Amino acid sequence: MDGRSSFETRLRAAFVAAMLVVVALAVSVWSAAREIHEAAHWVAHTHEVLDHLADAKSNSLLIELNAQNHRLSGDAGHLAARDAAIAAREISLRRLKELTADNPRQQERWAQLRATADERLAIARRVELLRKTEGTEAANAYAASAPLRETRERLFGALGEMDEEERRLLQERDAEQSELRALRTMLSAITSLLLLLLLAATYVMTRRQLSARARAEAALRESEQNLSTTLHSIGDAVLATDTDGRITRLNPVAERLTGWLLAEARGRPVEEVFRIVNEQTRAPAEVPVAKVLATGEIQGLANHTVLIARDGSEWPIADSAAPIRDASGKVSGVVLVFRDVSEERRAAQALRQLNESLAEASRAKSDFLANMSHELRTPLNAIIGFSEMLKDGLLGELDAKQRGFVGDIFGAGTHLLSLINDILDLSKVEAGMLQLEQGTVDVVALLKASPLIVREKALAHRIRLDTRLDPALDTMLGDERKLKQIVYNLLSNAVKFTPEGGAVTLRARRCTRAEVAFDATMPARLIALPPGEDGEFLAITVEDSGVGIAEEHLPKLFEPFMQVDSSVARRQGGTGLGLSLVRRLAELHGGTVGVASRPGTGSRFCVWLPYRAAVSDTREERPAPGRTAPRAPAGAASTTLAVPLALVIEDDDRMANLITAQLRAEGFDVMRAATAEEGLVRAAKHQPQLITLDIFLPAMDGWEFMRRVRADPKIADTPVVIITISADLERGLALGARRVLQKPFARGELMAALAGLVEAHCDGTAARVLVVDDNVQAVELVATALEAEGYCVLRAYGGAEAIEVARSAQPDLMILDLMMPQVSGFEVAHALRESEHTAHIPILVHTAKDLTAEDHARLNGAVSAIMTKSSFSRSDLLAELRRALPQRTED
């Protein structure tokens, strides 16, 4: 059909083209004839002008001749002949004016001719009058004096110019007429040639169409045969109908499922052959053929449809009906394709059972990992905590040998806990149970604080730590805890394998996806970046001056339990899990990792994480990473929960960053002022709970600042810790400073100086803290640490007991474990929040459980802070306690 339509289209186009050629010929011939006729008209016109010019010239000569003869002889006959010539010339002159009206130059010449003729006529009439009145001599004398010769030359000159112009026009018009005749001849020839070509093309198209039609008929017969073969060989059942919904075709599968042979079913209504019902209700289901015929759209069968065969057998089926369209696009029938889904139903049921089994296994694995995390970390927490207290002398003084043994216990326990944490985290990653907890991450603050974790070990081996951050870094969307873990593992690994006196550099910058690569200066291995839509990445690089890695060992890195040099690993310690965990955490974010190294030149490890911008904090100062100020619960009018604010007044950027990081680690929110003047403004505006002050400041020094602070009643009682190069203790205390530290100072000195400055009650009584855990050792560990700092400690060894003690004793803060039998920590937290008598009590969660996003959601709004037992330290516990403990205010 398409070939035939195409041929008819081409034939119609050829006919239209021929008609257009004929019309074009007629138009061209008519146009040429019209132009030739017009050219002939102008030729005749020119000849007429030339004739009248000749008449005017001859009549002018007659006028001159008869006027002269009359003047000499006085014969009246000459006068009559002259007048007749004048009349004839006048006719020619008027006609010349009319004929040359389209030619301005000829009109100018005619005007000259007219004037000259009139001037000569006036002279002739004067001569005639003088002869008549005064005689021949008077007439001759006047004639001799008149400008007869001049006017004669002008008259015949004008006639000659007009004649010359007309002959020039005649030549042009003759040439134009010849060109038009030639053009008409050429158009006729071209048109005839085109007609011949069109006739030839029409003949060729007709011949080809006849051949194509013959081939198409043969192909159609072959296609029908192929269709019949296909329908007999495919595994699906196929049923076709006409526009009345009557059967026109059944393939063997359809015959088997319906129980009808094609010869029996042909011409029958489709509803009679194809009977379907709903599997659950047994109600007749609508056959989609009528709907397809009405709408012309594909229709699917309803779910749970059963086909009832001619013999009463039933087949669960699925699939769809589609329109059959002719060459014009009109619906000419429906094809219904369906299949037996019995086997699919059985496979789906088996798959559901398998998925349920897998889900149950996954839940069991999750429970196992959670229990392992709790059971392993809880006893280690006690070992590490008590050994730390022994080491720090909180439980009595020890001799040097005892302190050494206790230090070994503390170090071994910390190392074992680190290994257990890595193994559990890697297990969760491999099991797909570790999920990202996305949030806004202050990249700059996190990266600046990260080297502090390994600073002590680096200083012990005289390893220089350097941090170089791209100024373009800001906040980003990511999992802050996992990002910290990535940076810590890289820094810890670098410090571990860097010899004494070496250097470790932490760099971070933003880059594009195309820049995720290493340069060619050293052998490198880069894990392929997974595909994604992220176009910008955070590149974190840790470079060391360590022993380096041989090129053949690079492929082993980032694989679990793989160590490139077991002798070095035994000397330095480690299991080979740290870098593998870095890789898994990076890939969990959608990023990748890489390493470049050469023996003797150090190594460079890099992590690329998608840099998804987050809305920056609009506060004037950034809060400490990961800390959130607790909100005061409803009904606690006399208690205000807030993060203690510290103002650091320091002009040296590095010292300011160090103090800021250590204060934030202790639970403070920090703002900085670079000058004493700025510090006075910020202190008056924000009224911090603590001020650290350098003495040697530009312009106003620290001593003058102290005097002005004490003179301002709003901030006069704010505790001030002086941190300066010259520790003038007496002068500082005299001016009202609470503590004086000398640079450089240790973190412990700063923490000791802060002790008691912000968490004591206004009436001087000790804060009461309720410690809740089902493990007695865990309770005693926390209680001992708190009591050594002057806190009053209450104890509860289960969830139900914790609720009862909280209601009766009304503690200032609760430290709560989550995994307890019978009544869990989650239930305790919600019970306290639902009661108006206990809703104001801050809750600090202290657990060995790795919290999931669901756990965080359950605790949201119910607790003030969360600490993990896996990273327990007395200083961290006290810092969190200080942050979460409410400050008493007067009602």
Note the pLDDT tens digit of each residue in 307-356. Answer: 888 898 888 888 778 898 887 888 889 988 888 888 887 888 888 888 88
45 with 186, same domain: the answer is yes
Categorize the per-residue pLDDT at 746 as very low, low, confident or very high, splitting at 50, 70 and 90: very low
Which residue type occupies 869? K
- In angstroms, the CA 634 to CA 161 distance is 120
In a domain, 623, yes or no: no
| CA within 13 Å, CB half, 191 | 18
The H or E element spanning position 504 is strand 503-512
Return the C-alpha torsion angle 864, 866, 869, 874, nearest 10.
-50
Least confident of 273-282, 657-666, 794-803, 870-879: 870-879
- In angstroms, the CA 246 to CA 269 distance is 4
74 close to 107: Cβ distance less than 8 angstroms: no
Least confident of 175-184, 422-431, 513-522: 422-431
Q: What is the mean pLDDT of residues 15-36?
A: 70
Which residue type occupies 277? V
* Long-range residue pairs from 68-77, CB within 8 A, at least 24 positions apart, any chain: 70/128, 70/131, 71/127, 71/128, 71/131, 71/136, 71/139, 71/140, 71/143, 72/136, 74/131, 74/136
Q: Where do the DSSP E strands lie in 545-644?
A: 592-598, 602-610, 612-613, 639-640
Q: Among 368, 399, 426, where does a domain finish? A: 426
In a domain, 488, yes or no: yes
In a domain, 156, yes or no: yes
- In angstroms, the CA 226 to CA 232 distance is 10
In a domain, 619, yes or no: no
446 close to 625: Cβ distance less than 8 angstroms: yes
156 with 124, same domain: the answer is yes
Sequence-ordered list of residues with C-beta below 8 angstroms from that of 177, at least 6 positions apart, any chain: 36, 39, 40, 43
Q: Which domain holds residue 412?
A: 347-426
pLDDT of 758 strictly over 60: no
Place of tokens 């005839």: 192
Q: Tokens standing for 360?
A: 């149950």
492 with 397, same domain: the answer is no
C-alpha separations of 562 from 491, 554, 557, 558 in Å: 19, 11, 7, 8
181 with 64, same domain: the answer is yes
Q: What is the mean pLDDT of residues 442-454?
A: 86
- In angstroms, the CA 552 to CA 202 distance is 77
What is the model's pLDDT at position 346? 83
In a domain, 763, yes or no: no
161 close to 109: Cβ distance less than 8 angstroms: yes
Q: Tokens standing for 408?
A: 């070994």
The neighbouring-strand residues paired with 321 are 299, 336
SS3 assignment, position 5: helix
Complete DSSP assignment for 730-763 = HHHHHTT-SEEEESS--HHHHHHHHTTSSSS-TT
- In angstroms, the CA 597 to CA 543 distance is 10
Bridge-based pairing state of the strands 612-613 and 475-478: antiparallel
What is the model's pLDDT at position 2? 53
In a domain, 112, yes or no: yes
DSSP, res 791: -
pLDDT of 443 strictly over 60: yes
Q: What is the mean pLDDT of residues 477-506?
A: 89
Average predicted confidence (pLDDT) for the chain: 77
C-alpha separations of 51 from 152, 174, 175, 213, 683 in Å: 20, 17, 21, 74, 120
pLDDT of 234 strictly over 70: yes
Bridge-based pairing state of the strands 865-868 and 275-278: unpaired
What is the model's pLDDT at position 428? 66
What is the model's pLDDT at position 732? 47
Q: Write the CATH number for 689.
A: 3.40.50.2300
C-alpha separations of 445 from 439, 661, 664 in Å: 15, 8, 10
Q: What is the mean pLDDT of residues 232-244?
A: 83
Q: Write the CATH number for 280.
A: 3.30.450.20
Percent of the chain topping pLDDT 70: 75
Least confident of 3-17, 429-443, 448-462, 724-738: 724-738
Place of tokens 């330290």: 873
What is the model's pLDDT at position 701? 85
- In angstroms, the CA 816 to CA 515 distance is 47
Residues for the chain: how many in total?
A: 891
Return the C-alpha torsion angle 170, 176, 177, 180, nearest 10.
180
- In angstroms, the CA 691 to CA 695 distance is 12
Q: pLDDT tens for residues 281-317?
A: 888 888 888 888 888 888 876 667 888 888 988 888 8
Q: Tokens standing for 316?
A: 């669960």
- In angstroms, the CA 501 to CA 460 distance is 10
782 with 865, same domain: the answer is yes
53 with 102, same domain: the answer is yes
Burial of 890 (0-12, 13-18, 19+ CB in 10 A): exposed
What is the model's pLDDT at position 882? 62
86 with 196, same domain: the answer is yes
Bridge-based pairing state of the strands 503-512 and 464-469: parallel
pLDDT of 14 strictly over 80: no
What is the model's pLDDT at position 343? 82
- In angstroms, the CA 333 to CA 23 distance is 47
Query: Nearest 5°: phi and psi at 618?
Result: -85, 0
Least confident of 203-212, 215-224, 651-660: 215-224
Burial of 212 (0-12, 13-18, 19+ CB in 10 A): middle
Q: What is the mean pLDDT of residues 15-30?
A: 71
Q: Among 697, 725, 754, where does a domain finish? A: 754
pLDDT of 550 strictly over 70: yes
Percent of the chain topping pLDDT 90: 8
- In angstroms, the CA 667 to CA 646 distance is 10
DSSP, res 624: P
44 with 148, same domain: the answer is yes
Which residue type occupies 401? K
SS3 assignment, position 302: coil
- In angstroms, the CA 156 to CA 230 distance is 105
In a domain, 223, yes or no: no
Per 3-state DSSP, the chain is made up of helix, strand and coil in percentages (nearest 5) of: 55, 15, 30
Q: pLDDT tens for residues 623-653?
A: 333 333 333 333 333 333 456 788 999 887 8
673 with 795, same domain: the answer is no
- In angstroms, the CA 850 to CA 370 distance is 7
- In angstroms, the CA 319 to CA 41 distance is 85
Q: pLDDT tens for residues 75-101?
A: 778 888 888 888 888 888 888 888 888
Bigger pLDDT: 677 vs 374: 677
C-alpha separations of 644 from 641, 719, 724 in Å: 9, 12, 23
The H or E element spanning position 408 is helix 400-430
Q: Among 279, 312, 340, where does a domain finish? A: 340
399: number of Cβ within 10 Å = 7
What is the model's pLDDT at position 710? 84
Least confident of 270-279, 316-325, 372-381: 372-381
Categorize the per-residue pLDDT at 365 as very low, low, confident or very high, splitting at 50, 70 and 90: low
What is the model's pLDDT at position 662? 72
102: number of Cβ within 10 Å = 9
Burial of 736 (0-12, 13-18, 19+ CB in 10 A): middle
| CA within 13 Å, CB half, 168 | 8
pLDDT of 621 strictly over 90: no
**What phi-psi label fits residue 574: left (phi over 0), alpha (psi between -120 and 50 degrees) or beta?**
left
326 with 385, same domain: the answer is no
796 with 701, same domain: the answer is no
Q: Count how many domains the chain has.
A: 6
What b/e string do you get for 469-500 counting C-beta neighbours within 10 Å, with b at 16 or more?
eeeebbbbbbbbbbbbbbbbbbbbbbbbbbee
- In angstroms, the CA 673 to CA 695 distance is 13
Q: Write the CATH number for 413.
A: 1.10.287
In a domain, 730, yes or no: yes
276 with 335, same domain: the answer is yes
What is the model's pLDDT at position 8? 67
Sequence-ordered list of residues with C-beta below 8 angstroms from that of 830, at least 6 positions apart, any chain: 862
DSSP, res 607: E
